[in-house]
Structure 1
Amino acid sequence: MKKQLLVTDFLDRARTYYGDYEAIVGTNGERFTYSEFGERVDRFSAALQSRGIGKADRVAVLDPNTHYHLEAAFGSMQSGAIHVPLNYRLTPDDYEYLLSDSGSEVVYADYQYASKIEAVRDDVPTEVFVTNDPAAVDGEWIGFEEFIDDVDADDYERPEMSEDDIITINYTSGTTGDPKGVCRTHRTESLHAQLVTIHHHISDDDVYLWTLPMFHVNGWGHIYAITGRGAKHVCTRGVDAEQVFDAITEEDVSFFCCAPTVLSILREYAEENDPAYTGANPIRVTAAGSAAPSATIRYTETEFGWEFTQLYGATETGPLIATSDARRLIPDEGGLRFSLKQRQGVAPLGTDLCVVDEDGNEVPRDDTTIGEVVVRGNQVMEEYWNKPEETDEALNDRREGWYHTGDLAVVNEDGMIAIKDRKKDIIISGGENISSVELEDTLFDHDAIGDVAVIPAPSEKWGETPKAFVVPANGDVENPGVTAEELTEYTRDRLAGYKVIREFEFVEDIPKTATGKIQKYELRKREWDDEDQMVGQG
């Protein structure tokens, strides 16, 4: 028997078995059971259909992690429309591009960000504008409550849907060039959410804290997984360390996901304020977006007492490609535990993961030979929206039918991969390849460093040389607590001679995407502005 895999199944299951149980804790203090949540979702679907929005039409959502985002997402999808979540840290010009590229006919925007949409209102194809607080927004916007109160839940009719229908378009974070719309089907979303449920050990009594943006590939699939298991969502309006620790104790949080930078923020706050680290439940935390420094992992497990898991992925893959959820391969204690947990890990169920050379052949499991990470599985995207050439390159470059990540990695004897760099971030100095990730991890162990990014800088002698942009731990760029010379000696004691960092710049912050990925291209562009080309063409 074959049953269609549909994202509507997740909320349907929660309503069937957990209707009377708390589903959502809103940022405004409101609380909803799964029955109440489901009824609001039905009314959002009915409101769309009353305005002629139906199957394959695009509905954009611009919202921090509130209950409105969840309602608009499920309301769009169960009406057959395509859910288009938007990064809430962009500019009006960015939104003009995203709304136009996706052809979104409806946009729901949180009151805090709606003005950015209003600024380009006349330049986008969107016709229906909804916000959760119209009084706080200039222009003609429909209030969310008014939008769903004008209809009855019974007015909504679910259309026939196929598991191969595109149901969401997730835009890449745009670390280089314009974002691309990643098309994901009911099938890819459903199977990915099941993988997340398995490898994150999600259960119906979990309390999930939304520190990870819901817009980021649908919150790594957690809008589905948490809902489908009948667990509880605790919403936020971004990451505030004090509020995170308060939520952990007040709501007995058991699980959350984030970028490694969030763990650093929580550590800094904890060291100054000494909050309680857990409520009634033990805590699991998963980090991704970049490799967490081993020092951060060590602190998270030994000081906070939280179980740490590394996740590796991309928007194009849902994002799960690999995970350090491999307990039999990682010792229970000791330094090796943290270095292995720092690795991106092993492929999840139903996923083929390889590290390949230029000819598409697998590299040996010697933990030394570098190759590109390629992956195939049910969670991989269908295509890029309206970009057939980019789709073909991403899925058929070195190996036909595999998604090519552009990440360079090694593989140990157990098959655990470790990312060494992006193709464009590898430093080629005097003909030697140097991993910027390795250099960053080395520097992170220094007490005076709060954050760091290493890029290739021009060198007359070597072509390229490593340069580190350092955010001082004390926040004082003028008096960072360490000199460039001292940091050079620090790296000399810990790295091969050709990897020693001789150039440092102390900065107040490092450019990052909303999901915590360092935008190294911004730093590279500044360093290489006066050069004809980069050695590594990054």
Structure 2
Amino acid sequence: MTQPLLVTEFLDRARRSYGEQEAIVATTGERFTYREFGDRVDRLAAALQERGVEKGDRVAVLDPNTHYHLEAAHANVGIGAVHTPLNYRLLPSDFEYILNDARVTAVIADYEYAEKIEAVRDEVPTEVFITTDAAAVAGDWEDYEKVIDGVTTEPTRPEMSETEVITINYTSGTTGDPKGVMRTHRSETLHAYASSVHQQIRDDDVYLWTLPMFHVNGWGHIFSITGAGGTHVCTRGVDVEKIYESLRDEGVTYMCGAPTVLDMLVKYHQDNDVDLSEIDNVRIATGGAAPPEVTVRTIEDEFGWYFKHVYGATETGPLVTTSDARRFFDDDSADRFAVKKRQGLEFLGTEVRVVDEDGNDVPQDDETIGEVVVKGHQVMSGYWESPEATEEAFSDRVEGYYHMGDLATVDENGMISIQDRKKDIIVSGGENISSIELEDVLFEHPEVADVAVIPSPSEQWGETPKAFVIPESGDPDNPDVTEDEIIAYSRKNLASYKMVRRVEFVDQLPTTATGKVQKFELREREWEEEDSLIGEG
């Protein structure tokens, strides 16, 4: 017998098996069991249907990591609507584009961000506007609690197929307009299964939401934590003091966060001498480029937590690899950090390759650089109404594989290590230089709080490495370290051709909502007077 893979199964299972167990610790101070959570989801689902939302309609959710977002996500998929989470850091013009592009029927918005939708309300096709606090929002918005309190009917669950699109996640649009990444019941379900295994998600896990729920549906944790019967601890953003309070008071066992979040945790602990005696048995995962090794060492050796490094993209579910390969390191050995910093081995049901320009696999020598390509159950079905962009994403070097745009090496065990974004690799005098390697070295400097390295135009070399440094002092005008000292530090710790040649002190770096540094903004500024963004290196 074939059982269709539907994302509705995650909440269904939790309600059956964990109905009286705590499901949600809300930012409002409320706590909900899975029975109570499921009841609120049903009432919202029925309310949406009463307002004309049908299977296949797109319902946008603009909300930080609150229980409202979790309820809306499960209500949407429960009636076959397409859950379309929005990045709350975007501008009204961005929302205007997305709501029109996806032809969104209904919007559920947090009171703090609803004004961004209100500003473009007359320019979008959306008909239903619900906010978590109508009294705090200008315009004609329905109040969330009044909406679900007024429900008198049960929701109707339509027939659904595992191949139908159930979520659309819009990319950040770093080049051109944002693209809607379509994901099906099947891809969402299998991604949640695989991440449950590799992230070791259990029913007694208490998960702290520091990773934005809008970001690829919180890396799928909207589904996987729920399906396991774990507890969601909600937040309204990254507040380090409150994170430590939740870790202690709620007994948090698992959390995710960008490398910048890890850095914030470390710095806050150093500045405030946080008592960690009541905070143990914590697993913390970060994605993408690895944080500096000094950060990982602090997390594990001083905090006593367990660090996991995963990798992926919005288009791939997102997670496709993990560094948590314990047969390749000893928990008590300092050598483990060399493994944990790698993007690692492929997830179950996933094929990850590193290929050259002709589509051939590079040798597993951990030196030869190629592009990462991926095939797997969790990979997107395509970009929303963008067949040409979809075809390009799957057909550049190798037909049928999603091309990540990341350059990597692969070692004898098949573990990949990202060296750079394809567009951010520094080619100086014909030599490839990894900006990640430079950043890792510079981050070890005691007067460097954060750093991003990009190629800078050079008449002699075509390109040369430039570091944008946030000084530990926080004041770029009084950094307590000189440009020459930073350059000398890089010369001491790197091969001479890799050393940083230019330094600029700044008070902040441009980042996405998940804390990823947007190097393209630095590159565009740096190359503004040039004819091309690529040097003849």
- Give the TM bin, normalised by the shorter chain: over 0.9
1:165–1:186: 8 Å Cα contact kept in structure 2?
Answer: yes
Q: CA deviation at 1:238?
A: 0.5
Q: Kindly tell me: are residues 15 and 279 of structure 1, through their superposed partners in 2, closer, same or farther at Cα, counting changes over 3 Å?
A: farther
Matched to 1:522, the amino acid is E
RMSD: 1.2
SS, match of residue 135 in structure 1: helix
The answer to whether the 8 A contact 2:10-2:226 is kept is yes
Mapped pair 1:248 → 2:247: yes
Q: Percent identity?
A: 62
Q: Assess if the C-alpha contact under 8 Å between 1:115 and 1:138 holds in 2.
A: yes
Determine the structure 1 residue equivalent to 2:213.
214
Q: How far apart in 1 are the matches of 2:500 and 2:149? A: 61
- Specify the code of the residue in structure 1 equivalent to 2:311: Y
What corresponds to 2:21 in structure 1?
A: 21
Corresponding residue SS for 2:407: strand
1:333 paired to 2:348: no
For residues 117-516 of structure 1, the aligned pairs below 5 Å read: 117-152=117-152, 154-277=153-276, 279=278, 282-516=281-515
How far did residue 473 of structure 1 move? 1.4
Query: 1:94 and 2:91 equivalent?
Result: no
SS in 2 for 1:493: helix
Q: Which runs of 5+ in 1 are unaligned?
A: none
- Per-residue deviation, 1:275: 2.0
Matched position secondary structure for 2:514: coil
1:286 partner amino acid: A
Q: Give the residue type in structure 1 aligned to 2:6.
A: L
Alignment match, 1:84: 84
Aligned length: 537
Q: Give distance in 1, aligned partners of 2:59 and 2:113.
A: 16
Match of 2:346, SS?
coil
Deviations 1:166-210 (A, max 9, x none): 000001123333221100000000000001100010100000000
- Give yes or no for contact 1:252–1:278 (8 Å, CA) kept in 2: no
Match of 2:54 in 1: 54
- TM-score for the superposition, normalised by structure 2: 0.98
Please say if residues 345 and 417 of structure 1, whose CA atoms lie closer than 8 Å, have aligned partners that are also in contact.
Answer: yes
Q: Using the alignment, how far apart are the partners of 1:311 and 1:238 within structure 2?
A: 22
Q: What TM-score, normalized by structure 1, do the two folds share?
A: 0.98
Q: Check conservation: 2:280, 2:305, Cα contact below 8 A.
A: no
3-state SS in 2 of match to 1:163: coil
Task: Provide the C-alpha distance between the structure 2 equivalents of 1:46 and 1:36, rounded to a whole number of angstroms.
Answer: 15
**Structure 1 residue 281, shift from structure 2 partner:** 5.2
Where 1:196 maps in the other structure, the secondary structure is helix
Q: Counterparts of 1:146 and 1:41 in 2: how far apart (Å)? A: 14
Contact 1:289 1:516 in 2 (8 A): no
Q: CA deviation at 1:536?
A: 5.3
CA distance in 1: counterparts of 2:419 and 2:47, whole angstroms: 49
- How far the C-alpha of 1:535 sits from its partner, in A, is 2.6
Whether the 8 Å CA contact 1:25–1:234 is kept in 2: the answer is yes
Using the TM superposition, give the Cα deviation of residue 432 of structure 1 relative to its aligned residue in structure 2, in angstroms. 1.2
Matched, 1:71 2:71: yes
Deviations 1:8-43 (A, max 9, x none): 000000000000000000001000000000011011
- In 1, the alpha carbon distance for the partners of 2:96 and 2:147 equals 24
Structure 2, unaligned runs of 5 or more: none
**Letter in structure 1 aligned against 2:74:** F
- The aligned counterpart of 2:35 is 35
Cα distance in 1, alignment partners of residues 506 and 107 from structure 2: 37
User: C-alpha separation between the residues in 2 aligned to 1:84 and 1:158?
Assistant: 19
**Residues 90-120 of structure 1: CA distance to partner in whole angstroms, max 9, x if unpaired?**
1111111111111111000100000111111
Checking the alignment, whether the CA contact within 8 Å between 1:245 and 1:276 is kept in structure 2 is no
Letter in 1 for 2:246: A
Displacement after TM superposition at 1:290 (Å): 2.6
Question: Does the 8 Å contact 2:523/2:533 carry over to 1?
Answer: no
Q: 1:401 to 1:216 in 2, by over 3 A?
A: same
Over 3 Å counting, the alpha-carbon distance change for 1:536 and 1:177 in structure 2 is farther
C-alpha distance in structure 2 between counterparts of 1:401 and 1:501, whole Å = 39
Contact 1:321/1:348, CA 8 A, preserved across alignment: yes
